[in-house]
A and B are shown apart, each in its own frame.
Chain A
């Protein structure tokens, strides 16, 4: 049977086209209001079928649960609909350009997901006999090889769970190396433009963070590094630098900085968050880097998943290699062997300890290796070049209207603007970003790095086509001109067209509500009681 469309015109009727009905449900067409599971689930509902176990006498001793367990359950269709509806309130790379500077929101290939779910990778236990997981050990070893070759280093600690965890790992290796040499320096140099994780990591290990200056061109001041090293001679453990830096610029004097740091018996920790700009173009090992984490979820495309999981392997120079944490892989004539405990170490292997239970983010390793193999040496280089090309294309498309804090020079994979082009418009960086949402874009990174006023850091990545960049540039130009015409309504109340308008973050922090609690029963008023 086919639908009879005769006499059913699809054109709108007489109603005013700008009319927006206030709906009974609060829904707006496909835009659904969805309650919390606690508001519609039931304590006796289940979306799984399980048989009650028969014929056994519990052996729980005195430990059986007496406390309530008030968790609502959902039948499978209810769960499916609930989470599908929630998903529709999210922006995602798969649905649009996601220019978050420093975060590298590139395409996440689905081949990687498929490979990670092979039972031989996804369904193996970290502590089953090593003889039954040799393929897994080989995969880790193979990824390690790709990482070492592309960074020009001689060792890699694979277990860190994310970038910040990798920083901790690298800095722990540095601390261990100093200790082994009979030194106990107390300071770590960090430029102001650094990611917040850098000073937080140094402080976690008891180091005093010493800030170093940037030059007017946005790069680290070599003279300031040298002066600080001299001032605190013998007391500096390391410098933590991001390269390319958080202004999207390659540190031109990086080799001289590394030399100065090494001459002061200190180590060079490189924050590898921006490694994606230079894969196949330059190797951190050749720049004097001693330790660098690689965010597999940035450079090598493992999905960000709404905030994780990540993976942060740390490549190490020859000087730091002996201190790599457990577990690590030792090459033998019989293939790679996983070394899990200190008791199994050989002479010269001095692991500083262990970062985590088990062996790291295997699921992410599979995805990253699938990505690297797909690209190959030629594709990896091309991806870096395209990322840099796209960022510069955005730069020249916008530099006459927006303001570049460090002048019209080429950037790497991301381009940094400040807010001086918004001066006297009444529009802030935040307002501008929220107006981008109405245009269907995720905002760029804002107010970071801290060294630039009202920073806007745009990273288009290599995943965008020229047409997509052209539309993005045209949209940004339209927004800038609108702001400069002082069409402030478009900005101050934005976003108007997202699932939510601007949210009150101050109220959220002042009186934190961090979980759902049942509403208090309505008070029985005299009128209601009657």
Chain B
């Protein structure tokens, strides 16, 4: 087996050195009735070529985003990632290193984490960011639990513009922990009255902008009302590129900002691995979940970085930890950091303008299709359209024509007749004029 350096001679010599006759003598503690005496009922070993053939066959059954006009978003976005990013994250020293528990020989990881935390803090307009969460949805669950610790209350109010699967994650962990969740009904246009839901029992209000439906939301009045009642505002985003063009949640009074960072540096990967961004204000740092990298000095006075405030974490604090998270999204946060370093603020703004411009053009093209109504007034690179028939059928028909034309809301929120004809469409820098024209004309045919 190509990954195993020991030869049979080595094995024999080593068993002799250990003082046992057979390898099974080392497994003597395994109860006899549970010992496997035969091989598992699985195929035998396979060479590289053979594995590559089999997996390539499976991969070829899927339609890659880059091979068709592609307008699917709703929490994950197709962006161009510079070649440099994927090269650097495959450096052995980054790829095959563990969590930086020995800082003297992991300054590479620690320094980029410090850069990552600084980038995320500046991007969101917050004081501090952690070293990443698994993704935006689990990060949102953690944000709610953190708000409960800070406020010592246990009721979360979720906006109807929150990504439905993020909502599910929060509801399910809250249900298990016996916390209360008030979820507002689906709100494609951002017109819900969330202020009316905030009272003195509220721990936090969770609002996504741009919303799942693409609508931009003014967070300021929500932050004000929340603060007046001693509650926190948790601001969520799924498209981090939007922060290049829209006012950051930190400048609108958010107490915790959590979002999906996949768009920067990370591919679609059918939903994972992604990278959760998590930022808050200085006064709450000891209630934060996840790892934090901090600056310090070494024995010779040179600057260096370490994981810090670990007394919040499970390996020290055990059942009193702020979270059970251990492994996070290290390498995905590196991809984010490198891509963001290549963009800089100027590049991110430009990328955001291109995304917005393409969405504006797409809105114009789709609005011209008979029977299509765009629901959003203010949006970034994504919006919701109402179709004259069920969006699910339309999307399937478009796929048959070789166009991936968005996400039917009913796929995530089934059983609500008022949402059945709604389609969420996204446009990023990868879309060309030809892509848009093909989408609009195919949609016209499908709806005809």
Residues of B within 8 A of A206 (CB): 176-178
Q: What's the Cα separation between A160 and B415 when bound, in Å?
A: 26
Residues of A within 8 A of B3 (CB): 107, 109, 374-375, 379, 383, 462-463
User: A392's contact among B26, B61, B218, B248, by CB below 8 Å, is which?
Assistant: B26
Q: Are B98 and A306 in contact (CB under 8 A)?
A: yes
Q: Are B296 and A499 in contact (CB under 8 A)?
A: no
Q: What's the Cα separation between A74 and B47 when bound, in Å?
A: 42
Supply 14 further A-B pairs (C-beta < 8 A) apart from A357-B165, A514-B129: A38-B118, A53-B358, A62-B218, A79-B341, A123-B64, A127-B407, A161-B272, A306-B97, A308-B331, A357-B169, A362-B269, A372-B42, A463-B4, A495-B105
What are the 8 A-B residue pairs with the smallest beta carbon separation, nearest first? A73-B344, A120-B59, A358-B271, A61-B378, A353-B172, A135-B61, A305-B331, A126-B271
Number of A-B contacts (CB under 8 A): 734
Residue ID in chain A nearest B318 by CB atoms:
A199
A residues 331-384 near B (Cβ < 8 Å) are 340-341, 343-344, 352-364, 366, 369-370, 372-383
Q: Are A499 and B319 in contact (CB under 8 A)?
A: no
Q: Are A83 and B218 in contact (CB under 8 A)?
A: no
Q: Is B283 an interface residue (CB 8 A)?
A: no
Q: Are A309 and B330 in contact (CB under 8 A)?
A: yes
Q: Is A421 an interface residue (CB 8 A)?
A: no
Q: What's the Cα separation between A502 and B104 when bound, in Å?
A: 6
Q: Are B114 and A393 in contact (CB under 8 A)?
A: no
Q: A306-B334, A362-B269 are in contact. Are A286 and B34 (CB under 8 A)?
A: yes
Q: A66-B247, A100-B98, A515-B117 are in contact. Are A48 and B343 (CB under 8 A)?
A: yes
B263 to chain A minimum Cβ distance, whole angstroms, is 12
Residue ID in chain A nearest B320 by CB atoms:
A203
Q: What's the Cα separation between A87 and B89 when bound, in Å?
A: 9
Q: Are A310 and B327 in contact (CB under 8 A)?
A: yes
Residue ID in chain A nearest B60 by CB atoms:
A120
Q: Are B92 and A95 in contact (CB under 8 A)?
A: yes
Q: Are A380 and B331 in contact (CB under 8 A)?
A: no
Q: Is B324 an interface residue (CB 8 A)?
A: yes
Q: Are A369 and B330 in contact (CB under 8 A)?
A: no
Q: What's the Cα separation between A376 and B146 when bound, in Å?
A: 44
Q: Is B311 an interface residue (CB 8 A)?
A: yes
Q: Are B36 and A71 in contact (CB under 8 A)?
A: no
Q: Is B82 an interface residue (CB 8 A)?
A: yes
Q: Are A501 and B300 in contact (CB under 8 A)?
A: yes
Residues of B within 8 A of A165 (CB): 134, 138, 325
User: B356's contact among A58, A197, A254, A433, by CB below 8 Å, is which?
Assistant: A58
Q: List 10 A-B contacts (CB under 8 A).
A: A34-B111, A36-B115, A98-B98, A109-B3, A115-B55, A200-B317, A306-B331, A501-B300, A503-B299, A512-B294
Q: A71-B345, A205-B177, A503-B306 are in contact. Are A357 and B136 (CB under 8 A)?
A: yes
B residues 31-86 near A (Cβ < 8 Å) are 31, 33-36, 39-48, 51-52, 54-67, 70, 72, 74-76, 78, 82, 84, 86
User: A307's contact among B13, B17, B100, B353, by CB below 8 Å, is which?
Assistant: B100
State which of A11-19, A39-47, A519-527 sits at the interface with chain B.
A39-47
Residues of A within 8 A of B135 (CB): 161, 356-357
A residues 203-244 near B (Cβ < 8 Å) are 203-206, 209
A354 to chain B minimum Cβ distance, whole angstroms, is 4
User: B14's contact among A80, A161, A393, by CB below 8 Å, is which?
Assistant: A393
State which of B120-128, B198-206, B227-235, B435-443 sits at the interface with chain A.
B120-128
Residue ID in chain A nearest B190 by CB atoms:
A61
Q: Are A126 and B76 in contact (CB under 8 A)?
A: yes
Residues of A within 8 A of B299 (CB): 493, 501-504
Residues of B within 8 A of A122 (CB): 267-269
Q: Are B176 and A70 in contact (CB under 8 A)?
A: no
Residues of B within 8 A of A454 (CB): none
Q: Are B62 and A309 in contact (CB under 8 A)?
A: no
Q: Are B104 and A361 in contact (CB under 8 A)?
A: no
Residues of B within 8 A of A64 (CB): 245-247
A residues 379-416 near B (Cβ < 8 Å) are 379-383, 385-386, 388-390, 392-393, 395-397, 410, 412
Q: Are A305 and B318 in contact (CB under 8 A)?
A: no
Q: What's the Cα separation between A355 and B134 when bound, in Å?
A: 11
Q: Are A514 and B346 in contact (CB under 8 A)?
A: no
Q: A34-B111, A358-B271, A376-B46 are in contact. Are A69 and B345 (CB under 8 A)?
A: yes
Residues of B within 8 A of A379 (CB): 1, 3-4, 44-45
Q: Are A48 and B354 in contact (CB under 8 A)?
A: no
Q: Are A304 and B98 in contact (CB under 8 A)?
A: yes
Q: Is A328 an interface residue (CB 8 A)?
A: no
User: A47's contact among B2, B82, B327, by CB below 8 Å, is which?
Assistant: B82
Q: What's the Cα separation between A37 and B122 when bound, in Å?
A: 14
- A111-122: CB near B (< 8 Å → 1, else 0) gives 101111111111
A125 to chain B minimum Cβ distance, whole angstroms, is 5
User: A254's contact among B6, B31, B36, by CB below 8 Å, is which?
Assistant: B31
Q: Is A426 an interface residue (CB 8 A)?
A: no
A370 to chain B minimum Cβ distance, whole angstroms, is 6
Q: What's the Cα separation between A460 and B429 when bound, in Å?
A: 47
Q: A36-B111, A374-B45 are in contact. Are A92 and B251 (CB under 8 A)?
A: no
Q: What's the Cα separation between A126 and B411 when bound, in Å?
A: 12
- B350-385: CB near A (< 8 Å → 1, else 0) gives 110110111011010000000000000111100000
Q: Is A278 an interface residue (CB 8 A)?
A: yes
Q: Are B92 and A94 in contact (CB under 8 A)?
A: yes
Question: B308, B327, B412 — which one has the most chain A CB atoms within 10 A of its CB?
Answer: B327
Residues of A within 8 A of B100 (CB): 306-307
- A82-94: CB near B (< 8 Å → 1, else 0) gives 1110111111111
A90 to chain B minimum Cβ distance, whole angstroms, is 4
Q: Are A385 and B247 in contact (CB under 8 A)?
A: no
- A167-210: CB near B (< 8 Å → 1, else 0) gives 11000100100000000000000000001110111111110010
User: B323's contact among A135, A200, A380, A509, by CB below 8 Å, is which?
Assistant: A200
A289 to chain B minimum Cβ distance, whole angstroms, is 11
B residues 106-163 near A (Cβ < 8 Å) are 106-109, 111-112, 114-115, 117-119, 121-123, 125, 127-129, 131-132, 134-138, 145, 163
Q: Is A149 an interface residue (CB 8 A)?
A: yes
User: B363's contact among A59, A62, A131, A383, by CB below 8 Å, is which?
Assistant: A59
B29 to chain A minimum Cβ distance, whole angstroms, is 4
Q: Are A133 and B63 in contact (CB under 8 A)?
A: yes
Q: Are B108 and A46 in contact (CB under 8 A)?
A: no
B28 to chain A minimum Cβ distance, whole angstroms, is 7
Q: Are B99 and A466 in contact (CB under 8 A)?
A: no
Q: A127-B72, A376-B46, A499-B104 are in contact. Are A306 and B404 (CB under 8 A)?
A: no
Q: Is B315 an interface residue (CB 8 A)?
A: yes
Q: Is B216 an interface residue (CB 8 A)?
A: yes
User: B315's contact among A44, A138, A196, A495, by CB below 8 Å, is which?
Assistant: A196
Question: B35, B100, B108, B118 — which one has the most chain A CB atoms within 10 A of its CB?
Answer: B108
Q: Are A281 and B36 in contact (CB under 8 A)?
A: yes
Q: Is B30 an interface residue (CB 8 A)?
A: yes
